[in-house]
């Protein structure tokens, strides 16, 4: 923080206090001498401090401070600004933001404004992690050389880091490893041989052509290196752009690939608890484009996820605008069941909070039970905010947190500073002192002793199933009609078993068969206790002689090297590896659909028997079809249960009554026989989770990698666009940008591009996985002379609007009532033709026809992605009419200038007898008010009212400008900056 105005001119200069003998200054709200302060929830106190410190009379005013202080009366009423200390971006959602800033530089330069003025004003960290894919796992060959697309490195392009490279195969076969062996007869040179011909083998470096069935498994280290090589090669254009950003923009720090996942890096390296800058100290805080941003709430850091458009605004110096939230106090009591894992506690709390209805609210934890939760437990609970729709789940600093910080390389001086500052401003608390409890909007009490092991599925994270009832529940899913909990398999087909020949051995697949088991780079991996439980369970399983069937695609993608470090140090990593859970690299993989195809024999068996095959993963996203389109049932489970179900080979097992498997001597082994005790796990955690693991991450952060360090990029103020690039392309958001704000216009004679139902997620609107070969995006890439192997994924191509617009509504699970079956198609109403959504939208735009979308309840739930708003905008969508919106997505629509309209309570498209084929005229006045009712007229002669979902004046201004990006660009084009402002039109921030 740098005070650019004289301290004495600050409206709250009388609150300035000092630490360290006057060397460090801070604003102390205690000096307000207002009794309301100590009754405020701790999260609201952080908002208050930020408002005091950033009070500049423009973005943040003195009345904003008073509103926050009067939180009890102003909650759900007053709109206040919040200026976070930093912004964090992951690469899939970060690259659109950086591309927009580069394009904004072009736009202002055309108007004669210095493009160098366009810079993030708020410190921004961009972590390159989401482009990772699993090309190698267990063996150096896979069913395809690059399941996500993109060419593999050629003989001369492979990294010199690889020491014992093997060929990988373009065919459909996978050799046996320690978990199975192949039939030597399959390697015959006869014409009927199952083995691929030499022409189907692609070499890496100077390796011989070897029979794929006789390759020895490569080491864990080499597996990770191979995956990293592929990641760096296929994403070279994107990485060059990131490198340019790190050099061209001020306040941008790019964390290169092969360091860790965004949330892990955020927790272990970027989080400060308190920020100390230019002699000032203040609480750390953050907004980020990753859905896991809320994990930092477990470290007592206020932060939450925002859309890419909102993050860009914060980067450019504008505060986040929010309505003062209700704060739900979650009181934890009771003792934790010794058989419950941390994830059981997390999922139990998640269920309670979802049922309590905390959507859009702050949750703050207190009570004696909080002290039983480790900081990793707290961060995992906070991470689940998107699942119970809270904005944050905040844990104030206490003695447990300080003890954790000591392990994470906080110096003794820093620890003392944190404790002194937090106590000075009353942000430190003791959970054993009820007299310190703030006043909350409401209180929910949760008894920790009631938590039992659960998993979630088969399609939604909120559908929790007690492990003791899993077999029974899966059977009911087979019986139930198709829906969130049903697959509707007839009784006569439920007992079917399909033979499967894999690696020369025959198996039988049935409903409930586990074919994917993934311990992935997500929230569970940052919690040492559950990862160590998984490792210790694997150790006991191997010692008992248990194995995992070789056709099950297993993987271990840790959130960072920290996880690998403590798994290795504790001695459990070799046992995980022996069961097939090898470290395959660092980054989001299976959870976002970045995985190799299943063996063809497995896919054929699933399709032949119409089987409900299962995936089990330790993530927090598992919508149907997200992992693999032939795997219909997916379950979220803590890491030890992922390993357990992989050993069992089916989810249709009662762990209490049925054995996991047999020892080589034929003895039955039950889960209880190999489950490590809580004391054993805690002792292992104490012995291994030490400061050295954080030092290792710091070393990786600072060292980078050779590829990144040697990567060349343009040296210019404006980016040198390569218009042949299919990764980076300047978006058209600033075309025809005028200095004056255009008047709002009615939307006349619009057609419905889509007629959607309830629970349309961001996965439906903007898929993040692979690009289907028959999709509009694929047709575009083919026109650029790319092969399907070079498509990569939608996530990796988010810097190209041409791809992402064509990928909007490209989900194979999209249910569009205009055509009556799932798929990325719609009806072009004037012609009566069914076509790709993009092709229909393009035809409407060429004919000058505006578009709307009709939808049901909870439109836009899921992860924050800016393309879920940018894509519809570029398709020509002017408004979305829905029964209700997920709040974050509603904000994203406003941020792109799309009008979010909500049916009046009790009404929907069906009650209004809408077919979706009408033409709609929306009467939009020049000045739209907050929650104003607007009239919609249809071509049938009917009309109905809707509510414009504007919750703040900022929403209205944003819509009037045609979105946040244009609003910020117009500020930069201002020829008469406000007094005291810089030349980009933004006032100085204290």
Using a cut of 0.85, tell me whether the model's pTM lies above it.
Answer: no
Indicate whether 389 and 503 sit together in one domain. Answer: no
CATH of the domain at 602: 3.30.499.10
Domain that residue 429 falls in: 325-452
Residue 583 lies in a domain: yes
Residue 239 lies in a domain: no
Phi, psi (deg, nearest 5) at residue 701: -65, -45
Task: Provide the 8-state DSSP code for 428.
Answer: B
Indicate whether 429 and 469 sit together in one domain. Answer: no
Indicate whether 520 and 655 sit together in one domain. Answer: yes
CATH of the domain at 350: 3.40.1060.10
Residue 805: name the closest of 762, 765, 855, 745 by CA. Answer: 765
Indicate whether 488 and 522 sit together in one domain. Answer: yes
d(CA 196, CA 191): 11
Indicate whether 503 and 548 sit together in one domain. Answer: yes
Residue 721 lies in a domain: no
pLDDT for 79 beyond 50:
yes
Per-residue model confidence as pLDDT tens digits over 326-368: 999 999 999 987 668 887 888 789 889 999 999 889 999 999 9
| Final residue belonging to a domain, choices 636, 651, 676 | 676
| Final residue belonging to a domain, choices 638, 653, 676 | 676
Q: Are 382 and 352 in contact (CB under 8 A)?
A: no
Query: What are the beta bridge partners of residue 330?
Result: 365, 444
Indicate whether 458 and 442 sit together in one domain. Answer: no
Per-residue model confidence as pLDDT tens digits over 908-947: 999 999 999 999 999 999 888 899 999 999 999 999 999 9
Per-residue model confidence as pLDDT tens digits over 513-560: 999 999 875 554 456 888 899 999 999 999 999 999 999 999 898 877
CATH of the domain at 872: 3.20.19.10
Indicate whether 566 and 618 sit together in one domain. Answer: yes
- Which pLDDT score is estimated for 877? 97
Query: What are the beta bridge partners of residue 328?
Result: 363, 442
Is residue 747 classed exposed, middle or buried when 0-12, 13-18 and 19+ CB atoms within 10 A define those classes? buried
Indicate whether 835 and 922 sit together in one domain. Answer: yes
Indicate whether 838 and 898 sit together in one domain. Answer: yes
| Final residue belonging to a domain, choices 420, 452, 484 | 452
Indicate whether 429 and 551 sit together in one domain. Answer: no
Q: Is 444 helix (H, G, I), strand (E, B) or coil?
A: strand
Residue 564 lies in a domain: yes
What band does 131 get if pLDDT is binned at 50, 70 and 90?
low
Indicate whether 853 and 941 sit together in one domain. Answer: yes
Indicate whether 546 and 422 sit together in one domain. Answer: no
Q: How far apart are the first and last CA of the chain?
A: 6
Residue 684 lies in a domain: no
Minimum mean pLDDT among 237-246, 435-444, 703-712, 744-753: which range?
Answer: 703-712
DSSP H or E run through 838 = helix 837-846
- Which pLDDT score is estimated for 55? 94
Residue 196 lies in a domain: no
Task: Name the CA dihedral angle for 595, 601, 607, 608, rounded to a multiple of 10 degrees.
Answer: -170
Number of domains into which the chain is organized? 4
Minimum mean pLDDT among 94-108, 251-265, 484-498, 839-853: which range?
Answer: 251-265
- Which pLDDT score is estimated for 324? 95
Residue 168 lies in a domain: no
Residue 643 lies in a domain: yes
pLDDT for 193 beyond 60:
no
Q: Are 95 and 86 in contact (CB under 8 A)?
A: no
Task: Provide the 8-state DSSP code for 858.
Answer: S
């Amino acid at each position: 923080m740098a005070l650019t105005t004289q301290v004495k001119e600050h409206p709250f200069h009388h609150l300035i206090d000092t630490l360290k003998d006057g060397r460090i200054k801070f604003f102390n709200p205690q000096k307000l001498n207002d009794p309301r302060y100590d009754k405020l929830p701790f999260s609201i106190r952080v908002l208050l401090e930020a408002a005091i410190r950033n009070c500049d009379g423009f973005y943040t005013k003195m009345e904003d401070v008073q509103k926050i202080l009067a939180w009890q009366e102003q909650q759900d009423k007053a709109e206040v600004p919040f200026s976070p200390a930093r912004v964090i971006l992951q690469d899939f959602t970060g690259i659109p933001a950086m591309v927009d800033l580069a394009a904004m530089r072009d736009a202002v330069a055309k108007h004669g404004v210095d493009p160098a003025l366009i810079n993030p004003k708020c410190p921004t960290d961009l972590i390159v992690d989401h482009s990772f894919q699993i090309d190698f796992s267990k063996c150096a060959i896979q069913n395809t050389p690059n399941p996500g697309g993109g060419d593999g490195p050629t003989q001369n392009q492979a990294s010199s880091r690889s020491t014992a490279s093997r060929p990988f195969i373009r065919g459909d076969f996978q050799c046996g490893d320690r978990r199975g062996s192949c039939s030597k007869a399959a390697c015959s040179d006869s014409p009927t041989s199952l083995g691929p011909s030499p022409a189907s083998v692609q070499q890496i470096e100077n390796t011989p052509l070897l029979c794929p069935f006789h390759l020895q498994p490569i080491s864990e280290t080499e597996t990770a290196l191979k995956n990293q090589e592929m990641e760096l090669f296929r994403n070279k254009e994107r990485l060059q752009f990131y490198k340019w950003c790190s050099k061209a923009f001020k306040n941008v720090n790019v964390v290169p690939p092969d360091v860790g996942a965004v949330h892990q890096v955020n927790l272990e390296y970027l989080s400060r608890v308190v920020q100390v800058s230019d002699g000032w100290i203040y609480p750390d805080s953050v907004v980020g484009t990753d859905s896991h941003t809320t994990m930092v709430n477990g470290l007592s850091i206020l932060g939450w996820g925002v859309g890419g458009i909102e993050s860009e605004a914060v980067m450019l110096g504008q505060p986040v605008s929010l309505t003062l939230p209700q704060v739900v106090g979650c009181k934890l009591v009771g003792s934790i069941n010794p058989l419950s894992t941390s994830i059981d506690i997390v999922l139990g709390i998640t269920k309670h909070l979802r049922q309590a209805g905390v959507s859009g609210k702050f949750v703050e934890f207190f009570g004696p039970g909080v002290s039983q939760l480790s900081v990793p437990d707290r961060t995992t609970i906070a991470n689940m905010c998107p699942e119970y729709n809270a904005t944050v789940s905040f844990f104030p600093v206490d003695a447990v947190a300080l003890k954790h910080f000591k392990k994470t390389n906080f110096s003794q001086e820093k620890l003392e500073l944190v404790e002194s500052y937090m106590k000075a401003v009353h942000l430190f608390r003791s959970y054993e002192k009820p007299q310190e409890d703030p006043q909350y909007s409401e209180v929910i009490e949760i008894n920790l002793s009631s938590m039992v092991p659960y998993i979630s599925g088969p399609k939604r994270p909120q559908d929790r199933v007690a492990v003791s009832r899993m077999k029974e529940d899966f059977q009911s899913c087979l019986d139930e009609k198709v829906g969130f909990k049903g697959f509707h398999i007839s009784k006569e087909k439920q007992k079917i078993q399909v033979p499967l020949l894999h690696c020369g051995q025959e198996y039988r697949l049935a409903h409930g068969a586990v074919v994917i088991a993934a311990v992935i780079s997500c929230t569970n991996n940052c919690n040492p206790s559950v990862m160590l439980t998984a490792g210790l369970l694997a150790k006991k399983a191997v010692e008992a002689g248990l194995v995992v069937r070789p056709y099950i695609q297993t993987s271990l993608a840790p959130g960072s090297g920290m996880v690998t470090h403590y798994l290795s140090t504790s001695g459990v990593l070799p046992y995980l590896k022996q069961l097939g859970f090898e470290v395959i690299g660092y980054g989001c993989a299976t959870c976002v659909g970045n995985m190799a195809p299943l063996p063809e024999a497995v896919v054929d068996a699933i399709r032949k028997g119409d089987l409900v095959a299962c995936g089990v993963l330790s993530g927090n996203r598992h919508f149907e079809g997200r992992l693999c389109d032939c795997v219909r049932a997916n379950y979220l489970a803590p890491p030890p249960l992922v390993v357990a179900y992989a050993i069992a080979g089916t989810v249709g097992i009662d762990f209490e009554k049925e054995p996991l498997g047999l020892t080589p001597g034929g003895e039955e082994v039950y889960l209880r026989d190999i489950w490590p005790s809580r004391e054993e796990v805690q002792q292992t955690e104490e012995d291994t989770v030490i400061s050295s693991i954080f030092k290792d991450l710091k070393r990786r952060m600072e060292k980078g990698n050779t590829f990144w360090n040697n990567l060349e990029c343009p040296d210019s103020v404006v980016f040198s666009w390569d218009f042949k690039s299919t990764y980076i392309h300047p978006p058209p958001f600033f075309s025809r940008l005028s200095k004056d704000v255009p008047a709002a216009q009615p939307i006349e004679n619009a057609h419905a591009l889509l007629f959607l139902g309830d629970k349309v997620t961001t996965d439906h609107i903007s898929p993040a996985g692979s690009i289907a070969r028959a999709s509009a995006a694929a047709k575009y890439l083919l026109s650029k002379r790319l092969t399907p192997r070079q498509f990569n994924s939608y996530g990796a191509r988010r810097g190209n609007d041409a791809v992402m617009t064509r990928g909007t509504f490209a989900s194979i699970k999209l249910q569009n009532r205009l055509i009556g079956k799932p798929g990325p198609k719609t009806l072009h109403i004037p012609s009566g033709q069914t076509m790709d959504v993009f092709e229909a939208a393009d035809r409407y735009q060429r004919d000058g026809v505006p578009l709307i979308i009709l939808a049901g309840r909870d439109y836009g739930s899921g992860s924050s992605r800016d393309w879920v708003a940018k894509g519809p905008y570029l398709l020509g969508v002017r408004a979305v009419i829905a029964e209700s919106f997920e709040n974050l997505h509603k904000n994203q629509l406003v941020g792109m200038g799309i009008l979010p309209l909500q049916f009046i309570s009790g009404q929907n498209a069906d009650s209004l007898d809408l077919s979706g084929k009408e033409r709609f005229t929306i009467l939009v006045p020049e000045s739209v008010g907050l929650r104003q009712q607007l009239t919609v007229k249809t071509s049938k002669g009917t009309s109905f009212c809707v509510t414009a979902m504007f919750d703040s004046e900022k929403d209205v201004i944003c819509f009037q400008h045609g979105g946040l990006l244009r609003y910020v660009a117009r500020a930069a084009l201002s020829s008469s900056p406000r007094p005291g402002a810089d030349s980009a039109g933004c006032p100085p921030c204290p």
